[in-house]
């Protein structure tokens, strides 16, 4: 779509635009070009803010809740209509910075206390979030994510417990940091998957593009290159870097593809329990160490179980009412 004029953008951010202008600019904000514009405007104008100039910023409200509601609806409709997940959230910045703007939305204060949003994606569901800098995160089932309403001027930090795939907008001056309850992952601009479930004894990070550093509790840094994954031992604060084809399997979930590569039966069951919110009853004569390799684009549990039956000697009996699966030979 065509880029709005600078005046139209300024009017919308200032809350004085017409409904039609707000809708048009909101659609453009939801594009890659619009997201890049917002991120660059933040970095450019933040440099001009000097200490003691806080009084230049006067909070204001959006004149019409109806306009804001329409903006949110348009963003979801035009940006996320192709997303296959069940829910989607777009976080749009309303930062009016020095040089171009003299006001900040009352809900996003550059100098005030940072407010945080918390998202929990329950078992059986997934979600996508777009941040104000254009970065995206795909959140897997049974995952908790905590993030600020606005990122700071020196860094962009979020907290993760569970599994998520991050696509980070490049910004060397404001690194993106994923806090993992001790260790952390620091990036500038890249795409990577993180598994950090509380009941797992390991954290797994795999890198698709770019470059990341794994920061350990002991303050060691482990660099990672594309095609590598790092497995972190929570108990011993130790890492193992692995290269191989298995890396690509770990992030296929974000495309609604079930993928396992030499995974034990216990690992497969654990993931299916999270993804479909079901329980498994495994008979005693079934080995939990059975290795399974599977790629399936089936999204219905019964079909996934049929695929597993084709490649293993096992039988899977699913009780839909009780949401339980019996596993037997």
78 has a pLDDT exceeding 70 = no
Give the pair of three-digit tokens for residue 144: 């908790």
Q: Report pLDDT for 117.
A: 92
pTM of the model: 0.68
pLDDT of 97 over the 70 cut: no
pLDDT at 51: 44
In 3D space, the residue among 323, 268, 329 whose CA is nearest the CA of residue 295 turns out to be: 268
55 lies in the same domain as 148: no
pLDDT of residue 169: 92
d(CA 302, CA 306): 6
21 inside domain:
yes
The verdict on 233 and 164 lying in the same domain is: yes
The number of folded domains in the chain is 3
Report the number of secondary-structure helices (H) and strands (E) in the chain: 7, 21
**Tokens of residue 204, six digits:** 């797994």
Could you tell me if residue 292 is inside a domain? Answer: yes
Q: Which region among 87-91, 266-270, 301-305, 321-325 has the lowest average model confidence (pLDDT)?
A: 87-91
pLDDT on residue 161? 97
| Domain shared by 247 and 293, yes or no | no
Over the chain, what is the mean pLDDT? Answer: 79
Residue 106: predicted pLDDT: 36
CATH of the domain at 314: 3.55.50.30
Is residue 113 pLDDT above 70, yes or no? no
Shared domain for 162 and 233, answered yes or no, is yes
- For residues 296, 302, 303, 306, the Cα torsion angle rounded to the nearest 10 degrees is 90
Same domain, 36 and 118: no
Judge whether 88 lies within some domain.
no
pLDDT attached to residue 304: 94
Q: Is residue 89 part of a domain?
A: no
Is residue 87, in this structure, part of any structural domain at all? no
Distances (CA, A) of 152 to 58, 61, 97, 114: 19, 22, 13, 9
Q: Are residues 145 and 221 in the same domain?
A: yes
- Beta-ladder partners of 90: 130
Parallel/antiparallel/unpaired status of strands 58-60 and 103-105:
parallel
- Is 268 among the domain residues? yes
Q: What DSSP letter does each residue of 206-219 carry, written as one string?
A: EEEES-EEEEPTTS
> How far apart (Å, rounded) are the C-alpha atoms in residues 75 and 26?
6
Closest by Cα among 181, 183, 184 to 166: 184
- Is the domain of 317 the same as that of 268? yes
Q: Tell me the C-alpha to C-alpha distance, in Å, between residue 220 and each of 5, 92, 105, 310.
A: 48, 35, 40, 45
Determine, yes or no, domain membership for 279: yes
Residue at a domain's end among 212, 232, 254: 254
Stretch (H or E) spanning 229 = strand 228-233
Residue indicated by tokens 């963003």: 75
212: CATH: 2.60.120.1440
- The domain in which residue 221 lies consists of 113-254
pLDDT-derived band at 8 (thresholds 50, 70, 90) equals: confident
- Indicate whether 57 and 159 sit together in one domain: no
- The C-alpha atoms of residue 176 and residue 246 are separated, in whole angstroms, by 25
The H or E element that residue 79 is part of is helix 65-79
Residue 278 and residue 203 share a domain: no
Measured CA to CA, the distance from residue 211 to residue 242 in angstroms comes to 15
Q: Where does a domain end: 206, 223, 254?
A: 254
Among 201, 232, 254, where does a domain finish? 254
Do 121 and 250 lie in a common domain?
Answer: yes
Is 26's pLDDT higher than 90?
A: no
Tell me the three state secondary structure of residue 126: coil
Same domain? For 267 and 171 the reply is no
Count of C-beta atoms within a 10 Å radius of residue 276? 19
Residues 6+ apart with CB under 8 A from 108: 93, 94, 95, 149, 150
- CA–CA gap between residue 30 and residue 200 (Å, rounded): 36
103, 131: one domain:
no
Residue closest to 196 by CA, chosen among 142, 128, 117, 275:
142
Residue 285 lies in a domain: yes
* pLDDT for res 43: 58
């Amino acid at each position: 779509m065509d880029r709005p004029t600078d005046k139209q953008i300024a009017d919308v951010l200032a809350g004085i635009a017409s409904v039609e202008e707000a809708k048009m600019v909101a659609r453009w904000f939801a594009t890659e070009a619009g997201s890049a514009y917002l991120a660059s405007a933040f970095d450019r104008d933040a440099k001009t803010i000097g200490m003691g100039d806080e009084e230049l910023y006067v909070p204001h409200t959006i004149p019409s809740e109806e306009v804001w509601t329409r903006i949110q609806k348009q963003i979801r409709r035009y940006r996320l209509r192709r997303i296959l997940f069940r829910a989607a959230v777009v976080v749009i910045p309303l930062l009016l910075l020095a040089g171009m703007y003299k006001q900040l939305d009352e809900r996003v204060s550059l100098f005030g206390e940072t407010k945080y949003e918390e998202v929990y994606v329950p078992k059986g569901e997934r979600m996508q979030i777009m941040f104000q800098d254009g970065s995206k995160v795909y959140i897997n089932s049974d995952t908790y994510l905590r993030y600020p309403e606005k990122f700071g001027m020196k860094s962009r930090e979020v907290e993760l417990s569970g599994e998520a795939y991050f696509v980070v907008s490049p910004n060397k001056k404001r690194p993106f940091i994923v806090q993992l309850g001790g260790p952390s992952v620091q990036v500038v601009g890249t795409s990577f998957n993180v598994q950090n479930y509380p009941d797992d004894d390991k954290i797994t990070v795999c890198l698709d593009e770019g470059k990341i550093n794994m920061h350990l509790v002991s303050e060691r840094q482990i660099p990672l290159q594309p095609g590598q994954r790092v497995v972190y031992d929570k108990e011993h604060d130790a890492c193992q870097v692995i290269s191989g084809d298995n890396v690509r399997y770990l992030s296929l979930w974000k495309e609604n593809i079930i993928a396992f590569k030499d995974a034990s039966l216990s690992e497969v069951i654990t993931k299916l329990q999270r993804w479909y919110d079901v329980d498994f009853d495994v008979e005693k004569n079934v080995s939990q160490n059975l290795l399974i390799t599977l790629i399936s684009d089936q999204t219905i549990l019964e079909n996934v179980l049929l695929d597993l039956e084709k490649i293993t000697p096992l039988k899977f009996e699913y009780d839909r009412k009780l949401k339980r699966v019996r596993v037997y030979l």
